[in-house]
């Protein structure tokens, strides 16, 4: 999909980590025991598989995200229909080859390639598929909700993430976090930092630091180890980035750098920074999924939290500060599934939950996804030797 070599290596390592972690979880699919309300009766729960689950995965993490879904679905005992993105099907096929080589029984995971309309829709609507996990756009998530029937559904959708940088922040550390969050994977992450919320006291200084460093980023072939930013996934993504540059200009935002593509082969777009962005403008509200970020000025922590929360999404957030009060206010008050302190919005770990609030969807992935791929079943064993009716019935 064009990401730079070091990120591709990280994509693969994430898959290794989640399979290793979930292999251990196979010994910890615990149930619960609890006293019964009746004498001589035992009650407990066990975990059972859903049955057949459908996994529909995106192109931006073509190894890691399928692994995030496959590993827990398998360890819970399900069989799987797996549809990788039409933009990156070969990565899904290579992952299947690895699982088969590792001893995966035939028919347990079934990969089907194709478009959303021809393959995705039948998976979403099929009555024998009882569970569904999807990562992708909010609009597709809404379609799934309306058409999947009574399936157990996990949806990981878009977001409009933000990094807050307060007046006391380590600006050099924050700079590295913004560059990584805004332009890593060419901005094509659901955790990408497309809003930078800056305290007015350090706004101009940080703006100059960011523009200077951004202009030095090297675009090119992701396979070259000297490349900082690779291409966008396809022509539609390139055209979308151009569209939002025009939207930003028309809204009165100040274009500081970027805003154009590069002539020649490949869907390259220069890392783009807008300044003087209003919190309610479209480039500060809508997910762009490209290398475009918006600088927003605030006067205090109250305004920072209000602006950060003032979007319809809620996946990842971050704050740079040395002030413990600021940090804990962000932890407690930001309406996001993930909050980082003095780190970027990117960098999930497999043993922690990954998921968001509001239009970002529902359910959790990674280490807390066993609940998404199993059901808890109640078990009663009556050893009284007689029929004990429900409590209250003589």
Closest listed residue to residue 47, CA positions, set 367, 380, 376: 376
User: Which residues contact residue 220 at a Cβ distance below 8 angstroms, ignoring those fewer than 6 apart?
Assistant: 226, 227, 229, 230
pLDDT of residue 80: 98
Catalytic site includes residue 156: yes
For residue range 17-33, what is the model confidence (pLDDT) as tens digits? 999 999 999 999 999 99
Two structure tokens written together for 77: 């005992």
pLDDT band at 317 (very low <50, low <70, confident <90, very high): very high
Q: Which of 190, 207, 365, 372 is catalytic?
A: 190
Is 51:152 a contact under the CB 8 Å cutoff? no
* Contact predicate 315/267, CB 8 Å: no
Token pair belonging to 135: 């990562």
By the 8 A CB rule, do 47 and 378 touch? Answer: no
* N-term to C-term CA, the chain: 67
β-pair type (254-257, 109-111):
unpaired
In this predicted structure, the answer to whether residue 392 has a pLDDT above a threshold of 80 is no
- Backbone φ and ψ of 156, nearest 5°: -115, 105
DSSP letter assigned to residue 51:
S
Separation between Cα atoms, residue 163 and residue 334, nearest integer Å: 11
What is the pLDDT of the chain when averaged over all its residues? 96
**Which helix (H) or strand (E) segment is 48 a member of?**
strand 41-49
Judged against a pLDDT cut of 90, whether residue 190 lies above it is answered with yes
- What are the percentages of helix, strand and coil residues in the chain, rounded to 5? 35, 25, 40
- List, in order of start, the domains of the chain with CATH numbers: 5-158+356-380 (3.40.605.10), 161-341 (3.40.309.10)
Measured over all CA atoms, what is the biggest interatomic distance in the chain, rounded to whole angstroms?
Answer: 83
CB 176 within 8 A of CB 385: no
pLDDT for the residue numbered 347 = 86
- Looking at residue 263, its pLDDT comes to 86
pLDDT at 121: 95
pLDDT tens per residue, range 233-264? 999 999 999 999 999 999 999 999 999 999 88
Choose the catalytic residue: 156, 207, 287, 365.
156
Collapse the DSSP code of 345 into the 3-class scheme (helix H, G, I; strand E, B; otherwise coil) and give the result: coil
Q: Which residues of 141-151 are buried (b: 16+ CB within 10 A; e: fewer)?
A: bebbeeebeeb
What is the pLDDT at residue 195? 98
**Which residues neighbour 62 within 8 Å (Cβ) at sequence distance 6 or greater?**
1, 11, 84, 85, 88, 91, 92
Model confidence band, residue 77 (pLDDT cutoffs 50, 70, 90): very high
CA distance 62 to 200: 39
The tokens describing 304, both together, are: 């920072």
Bridge partners, 47 (sequence order): 376
Residue recorded with tokens 């050099």: 172
Question: Can 190 be counted among the known catalytic residues?
Answer: yes
pLDDT classification of 389: cutoffs 50, 70, 90: confident
Tokens in use for 132?
A: 């569904």
pLDDT of residue 393: 76
CA gap 269, 186 in Å, rounded: 8
| Residue 19 and residue 73 in contact, taking contact as beta carbons nearer than 8 Å | no
Both tokens assigned to 288: 């762009």
From start to end of 69-144, where are the E strands? 79-83, 109-111, 131-135
- What is the token pair recorded at 173? 């550390």
């Amino acid at each position: 999909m064009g990401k730079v070599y070091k990120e591709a290596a990280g994509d693969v390592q994430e898959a290794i980590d989640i399979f290793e972690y979930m292999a251990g979880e196979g010994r910890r699919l615990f149930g619960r025991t609890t006293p019964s309300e009746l004498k001589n009766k035992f009650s407990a729960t066990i975990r059972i598989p859903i049955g057949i689950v459908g996994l529909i995965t995106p192109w931006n993490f073509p190894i890691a995200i399928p692994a995030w879904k496959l590993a827990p679905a398998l360890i819970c005992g399900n069989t799987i229909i797996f549809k990788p993105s039409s933009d990156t099907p070969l990565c899904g096929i290579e992952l299947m080859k690895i699982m088969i080589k590792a001893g995966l029984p035939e028919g347990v995971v079934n990969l089907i390639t194709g478009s959303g309309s021809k393959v995705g829709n039948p998976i979403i609507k099929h009555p024998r598929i009882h569970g569904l996990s999807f990562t992708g756009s909010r609009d597709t998530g809404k379609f799934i909700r309306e058409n999947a029937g009574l399936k157990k559904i996990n949806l990981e959708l878009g977001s409009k993430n933000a990094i807050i940088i307060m007046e006391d922040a380590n600006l050099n550390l924050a700079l590295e976090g913004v560059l990584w969050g805004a332009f890593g994977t060419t901005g094509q992450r659901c955790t990408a930092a497309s809003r930078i919320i800056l305290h007015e006291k350090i706004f101009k200084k940080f703006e100059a630091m960011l523009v200077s460093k951004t202009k030095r980023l090297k675009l090119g072939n992701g396979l070259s180890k000297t490349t900082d930013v690779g291409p966008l996934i396809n022509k539609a993504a390139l055209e979308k980035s151009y569209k939002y540059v025009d939207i930003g200009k028309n809204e009165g935002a100040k274009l500081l750098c970027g805003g154009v593509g590069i002539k020649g082969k490949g869907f390259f777009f220069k890392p783009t920074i807008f300044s003087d962005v209003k919190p309610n403008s479209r480039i500060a509200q809508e997910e762009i999924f490209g290398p475009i970020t918006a600088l927003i000025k605030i006067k205090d922590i109250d305004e920072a939290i209000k602006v950060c929360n003032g979007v319809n999404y809620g996946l990842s957030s971050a704050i740079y500060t040395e002030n413990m009060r600021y940090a804990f206010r962000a932890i407690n008050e930001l309406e996001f599934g993930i909050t980082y302190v003095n780190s970027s919005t990117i960098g999930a770990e497999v043993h922690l939950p990954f998921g968001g609030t509001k239009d970002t969807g529902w359910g959790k992935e990674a280490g807390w996804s066993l609940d998404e791929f199993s059901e808890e079943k109640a078990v009663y064993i009556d050893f009284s030797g007689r029929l004990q009716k429900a409590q209250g019935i003589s």
